[in-house]
Chains A and B, each alone.
Chain A
Amino acid sequence: MAMLVLLLAVIIGGLLFFAVLYNRLVSLKQQFTNAWAQIEVQLKRRYDLIPNLVEVAKGYMAHEKQTLENVIKARTQATQAVSIKDKAQAENLITSSLRSLFAVAENYPNLKADQTMLKLQEELTTTENRISFARQYYNDQVMLYNTAVKSIPTNFVAQLANFKETESFEIEDVAQRQAPSVKF
């Protein structure tokens, strides 16, 4: 009888322990899913901003057709990307194309003084910063989740309940870690 009670206690204890660990993994997963949703909101904001930016620049930079087309192309590619890896690559492309655009824009003083462009510049700066901070928060949450998935004893629960490691939203090189700098 004592053995039976002990066995029952171990089973109930084990189940409770499993539930606690399972809930922790669910909570961590929810947190990084929510963090990803935050990134997507900011990315959408940037996608909406780019056509306006190109439209304003077009009025002054008639001879820089290729540069403007590259920005639009990068935006289209980014909107079509599905996986985190593809999105990260597309975002890198947008950042570099915007950097080229602003480098060229330095040669157009009228564009630099344009009111709409100045407004868009502030919008773009804040959007880039928000993306950067949202990505940082997402990566923090992913790191917490991945650590839980790999560590003992949560890794046993993760294997049983099919919690898999997820990838962080990384950018390629250190130079690109900074938002495109615009000096108007």
Chain B
Amino acid sequence: MPYSFFEIERRKNWSIGALFIFLISIYFLTFYILWWGMRFVLNLQTIRFGLAEYLNLFILAFAVGGAHWFFTQHNLIEKILNLLQAKPLDPRDKYHQVFGNIVEEVSAASGGVKFEAYCLVTSALNAFSLADFNDRKIIGVTEGLLAKLNRRQLEAVVAHEVAHILSGDCLSATVSSSLFELYDAALDSLRSLFHNRSPLKSRGGRGQGIVWLYLIFAFCVLFLVRGLSYLVNIFTSRQREYRADTVAARLIRDPLSLAEALYILSRGWRGAGLSGDRLATIFIANPRQNVLDERQGLFADMFSTHPPLSCRIDHMLFLAGQDIKSLESMASAATPVRVITPLIANVVPDARWFLLNPMQAWEGPFNLTQLGGLNYFRPDNWVRPENSSKVRIAYEEKELLTYFRKEDQADGKIISCPNGHGCMGEAEYEGAHLRICPVCAGIALKREDMMRLLLRREAAFNEETIKNAKKILDDSKTIPQKEKLIRTQLKILCPYCRNKMSRQFFNWTEVLDSTFTHDLALWGIFDLLCLPIDLCLTCSTYWLDQKKLEILQYIYEEHKSKLYGG
């Protein structure tokens, strides 16, 4: 049955209270251990340790723990979303639209509880949920998962995350992750400080010694507290994942879809980036891929955050009355391909102007598209309308002002082809939104869009694309790495920010996650491909000439299927 409001509140209060007590306890224990350590080091064994000292330690632990709690819980969700580099859904992207709709559908199944949908820009396969004390509820998935799962499977994953939120264990997971993530960040900072001692080099003598002593003390405190905080896994029972799976199956009445989704997850990389990996409890599958994850027993139950995926799959298959063979046949079937939609042309205004160039000579007349293609065209240029002798500043002309305002916006602005073919059109390709030149068919796209397109399966590749891709792969193996690294720069201007673009060979690590590119390298696909592209190093915009996107997609898909079996 759906969880009642009172039941959720009761669970929430119990688990949050326990977490707070746990936090105070680990601070108390840390200070106690440090006190004993200091007694030993400073040879103070003769000093009595009575009730008053215990009370003082408790007060200290309570004060530090309370401050820690307040600091980490303030603006909790925003902090975690920033850490994960999660982004709200792109309303123009078809996959994101479908995901947003699925979240709304599962919301209807849960009695109209409202959730916010987010996406992680990574090729990994994972999903997460977050909740805070202000009743904010977040459900997020990775771009990799969006590209890999079909609608039913994605619905099952969302239902699993909804189940965590409804049961209240998402809140305790969010709170505990945020509490102990702080230690990791602080430990990392201290480690880097020890590694490169530059901030302390200017100090000298005794002052430097004291600073070092304080830092070593802080490091010891953090190290101890971090070690003890692993015990928090006792609170995050592995059973909660089984419960969430069962509630999800009940919410959508389809355990087989969840079994399929978990099966796909089990065959892919599940990492969520360096920072995201620390927040293991909020994810559907452990991003750290701990060896304990696939083990059972008391030790694994205590120190692993997630139960074995194989057991979870078996559990769902049992509910569905199916066996593992049905999943194997499903995995070998191709992922459904979304519709590829054609180019939508922009409407170009008819008005034309003469423009005073930097050499103080009049040029033109140009229409708005042509003006947009001139690299010296700015709001403060002098212009003269074609049918008038009145000279004005560009921003005083209504149409030009509108153009510059659009330029300032992140989306929907008029951009020009870097090859001088005028205004670029908008196109939707495999669900993603990109800009394409109607004349030379060059494509401008941001890094995120590039990743999305590579992750999404192409309908079919033509013979020419396959032939070119194979040639590029052969060239990449033969040309020495040194030669590949040379960047010939300053070829063309970035259509978005108008900075000079750098012409270079395509580099997988600039688009995809490093783990995946390492896997590609193992299969003979090098970081650098012998495929020249233009990259804006200021705003991370790629300019790809005609057909190059398809070539990249072909190489990626061919080798991904070798790695992960399609």
Interface residue ranges, A against B (CB under 8 Å):
31, 34-35, 38, 42, 115, 118, 122, 125-126, 129-131, 133-134, 136-137, 140-141, 144, 184
Q: B66: CB under 8 A from chain A?
A: no
A181 to B: closest C-beta gap in Å: 11
Query: Which residues of B are found within 8 Å of A34, using beta-carbon distances?
Result: 111-112
Q: Which residues of B contact A130 (CB under 8 A)?
A: 104-105, 108
Is A137's CB under 8 angstroms from B105's CB?
A: no
Determine if B2 and A136 form an interchain contact, defined as CB atoms under 8 angstroms apart: no
Query: Quick one: which of B101, B104, B110, B341 contacts A137, CB cutoff 8 A?
Result: B110
**Bound Cα distance from A34 to B97, whole angstroms:** 27
Asked if A42 contacts B108 (CB within 8 A), the reply is yes
Within the complex, the shortest CB–CB distance from B18 to chain A, in Å, comes to 28
Contact status of A144 and B108, CB under 8 A, knowing A126-B101, A184-B339: no
Please, which residues of chain B bring their CB within 8 A of the CB of A140? 1-2
Q: Complex formed: what's the CA distance from A169 to B108 in Å?
A: 15
Q: Which A residue sits closest to B253, measured CB to CB?
A: A136
9 A-B pairs within 8 Å (CB atoms) are namely A35-B111, A38-B108, A115-B341, A122-B97, A125-B101, A126-B104, A129-B155, A137-B110, A141-B111
> B520 an interface residue at 8 Å Cβ cutoff?
no
Q: Is B112 a contact partner of A38 (Cβ separation < 8 A)?
A: yes
Shortest beta-carbon distance, B4 to chain A, in Å? 8
Enumerate chain A residues within 8 angstroms of B331, measured Cβ to Cβ. none
Q: What distance in Å separates the Cβ of B323 from its nearest Cβ neighbour in chain A? A: 24
Least distance between A178 CB and chain B CB atoms (Å):
12
Judge whether B106 and A133 touch: CB under 8 Å: yes
Q: How far is the CB of A116 from chain B (nearest CB, A)?
A: 12
Q: Which chain B residues border A118 with CB–CB below 8 Å?
A: 339, 341
Instruction: Flag if B98 contacts A134 (CB, 8 Å).
Output: no
Contact B97 A129 (CB under 8 A): no
CB distance from B62 to the nearest CB of A (A): 39
Q: How many residues of B contact A (CB 8 A)?
A: 22
| Neighbouring A residues of B341 by C-beta, 8 Å | 115, 118
By a CB distance below 8 angstroms, the chain A residues around B155 are 129
Q: Which residue of A lies closest to B109 (CB)?
A: A133
Q: Chain A's nearest CB lies how many Å from the CB of B114?
A: 12
Min CB–CB distance B10 → chain A (angstroms):
16
Closest 4 A-B residue pairs measured CB to CB? A133-B109, A126-B101, A133-B108, A134-B108
Q: In the complex the two chains form, what is the Cα distance from A126 to B209 in whole Å?
A: 65
Q: How far is the CA of A115 from the CA of B112 in the complex (A)?
A: 30
Judge whether B98 and A122 touch: CB under 8 Å.
yes
Give bound CA distance, A137 to B94, whole Å.
Answer: 28
- CB <8 Å contact, A137 and B339: no
Q: B101 — which chain A residues lie within 8 A by C-beta?
A: 122, 125-126, 129
Q: How far is the CB of A129 from chain B (nearest CB, A)?
A: 4
Q: Smallest CB–CB gap between B190 and chain A, Å?
A: 49
A144 touches B1 (CB 8 A): yes
Among A35, A118, A130, A184: residue with most chain B CB under 10 A = A130
- How far is A133 from B107 in the complex, measured between Cα atoms in Å? 9
CA distance A175 to B70 in the complex (A): 55
Closest to A144 in B: B1
Q: How far is the CA of A115 from the CA of B94 in the complex (A)?
A: 12
Residue of B nearest to A184 (CB): B339
How far in angstroms is the closest Cβ of chain B from A36? 11
Beta-carbon contact of B112 and A136 below 8 Å? no
> How far is it, in angstroms, between the C-alpha of A118 and the C-alpha of B339 when the chains are bound?
9
Task: Fill in one digit per residue for B139-158: 1 if any A CB lies within 8 Å of its CB, else 0.
Answer: 00000000000010001000
Q: Given that A129-B105, A184-B339 are known contacts, is A137 also in contact with B98, CB under 8 Å in the complex?
A: no
Evaluate contact between A137 and B109: CB separation under 8 angstroms.
yes
With known contacts A115-B341, A122-B97, A184-B339, A136–B105 Cβ distance under 8 A: no
